[in-house]
Amino acid sequence: MINPRDLTIKKIQDGLLSKKFSAFELAKEFFSVAEEKNKDINAYLSLDKDQALEAASKIDVKLASGENIGELAGVPLAVKDNILIKGLQATSASKILKGYKSPYDAEVITKLKSSGAVFVGKTNLDEFAMGSSTENSAYGVTRNPHDLERVPGGSSGGSAAAVAGHMAAGALGSDTGGSIREPASFSGVVGLKPTYGAVSRFGVAAMASSLDQIGPLSKTVEDAAILFKAIAGKDEKDSTTVDADYSGITDDPSLERVRGLTIGIPEEYFGEGLDGEVADEIEKAIDDLKSLKINFKKISLPHTKYALAVYYIIMPAEASTNLARYDGLRFSPPEEKNREGLLDLYIKNRSSGFGTEVKRRILLGTFVLSAGYYDAYYLKAQKVRSLIKEDFTEAFKEVDVILTPVAPTPAFKIGEKTKDPLKMYLSDIFTIPANLSGVPAISIPVRGRDGKLPVGFQLMGKHWREKDLLDIGRLYEKI
């Protein structure tokens, strides 16, 4: 009997190789769970059963003929619906892309297909990845599998819920200001935002191009390493990517090496606004890591207090530019064709096609880029962003890794923050600095929270040093 609840990516590979189950049987079981649970959770916007079962059958043929298969062969994965898969819908959870099907694969999908991964379906998100709760989707709210009255986090809430609800063995999300790590924390899974440039962004619907990054969500840190290794690498179609050496990223962690690392605790992340329960859980995680005899040191990241303000100038500015291409004509047919001229057509299509939060950010971004305000807002924000980056540069001269909370609170109730955008934006206050500075960061569930709402702690590392984060996380899971 296959029980998706018990299966990690690593266990799936072992099960396929030992003939405990076939890839076809595995895919059928995951679809059975997904079809049943999705009625309540709404993690998936679409399921692609026929294509998935066909892909799984091809893996079984390879196994029967004795061919070698990769670590992701036959593994059922979920994909955020702003990442393109050829022939499948790509709505970015927006009405303006309703009915659009991608004519090509994102680079990460090309890599996963070559590794034999099986795609269960496309997951829900905040429209165009703008949100922290997956309540901004044009296709309904996603619910947290741990408590259906609460949000799963956002914007990759559908991907996090699919993994937490055992509807996929792993998933892809995108992270612009915390959109992988915050839902990972709220949903009790692992979420990795790689170094900016480690993973190709070709084929992801861009929101803020200097901040966006694709990354994995998974049940374990080991699985996150496997997924990350599969999608990382230089891509000629994305000039920001770098050919970093990740060859040993999935090797077993060395306790001796990890004990040689120093973890920094920034005072700015543990003050006012942090929920008491979350603070206590982070302290427990720190104590567990200290039991491994890892060194800790108090540090300061003094410009952290400006990160949220900087982000909500730079991100909307880039988003307003990127979303200018969506006019309701080129990517999907307009709902009404009887318009009074082209301008009227654009105005009405964009007005009806975009949701409230997307409109808010387009207006804000257009404002800060407009004549007379560019220097006062956008240019100043870029200068402060440089100071935030410098904080990390200086901190990493003293420490190797930085540990913080992921979010100020556990998962909040659906509807609790929708009427106050500022309260919603504050959910990302601890995750945004990693995007502004481009460093890798991971959310790892605090151990021993069975029966309680999940809480995650965040590790941030030096550029291209995902292995430090992953090795610490893997050793933490074994305590």
Nearest by Cα to 126 from 169, 98, 159, 172: 159
Active-site choice (156, 179, 320, 427): 179
DSSP state of 378: I
Residue type, 364: L
Residue 153 to residues 158, 168, 262, 367, Cα–Cα distance (Å): 9, 17, 30, 28
Is 155 assigned a catalytic role? yes
Active-site choice (155, 159, 320, 443): 155
Asked if residues 83 and 203 have their Cβ atoms less than 8 Å apart, the reply is: yes
Asked if residues 257 and 229 have their Cβ atoms less than 8 Å apart, the reply is: no
Question: Following CA atoms 403, 407, 479, 459 in sequence, which dihedral angle do they give, to the nearest 10 degrees?
Answer: -30
Residue 326 to residues 86, 127, 353, 366, Cα–Cα distance (Å): 19, 13, 9, 15
Residue with tokens 């999940």: 454
- Structure tokens that stand for 473 in this block: 């996380």
- Structure tokens that stand for 63 in this block: 């196994």
Is 320 assigned a catalytic role? no
Distance (Å, whole) CA 264 – CA 466: 16
Distance (Å, whole) CA 182 – CA 162: 15
DSSP state of 306: G
| CA within 13 Å, CB half, 434 | 39
Q: b/e map of 240-263 (b: 16 or more CB within 10 Å)? A: bbeebebeebbeebeeeebeebeb
Residue 426 to residues 138, 177, 315, Cα–Cα distance (Å): 23, 11, 15
Asked if residues 253 and 287 have their Cβ atoms less than 8 Å apart, the reply is: no
CA 26 distance to own-chain centroid: 25
Active-site choice (80, 95, 111, 122): 80
- Cis amide prior to 247 (ω within 30 degrees): no
Asked if residues 124 and 130 have their Cβ atoms less than 8 Å apart, the reply is: no
Nearest by Cα to 274 from 283, 264, 261: 283
- Structure tokens that stand for 126 in this block: 């905040």
Is 39 assigned a catalytic role? no
Positions marked catalytic? 80, 155, 179
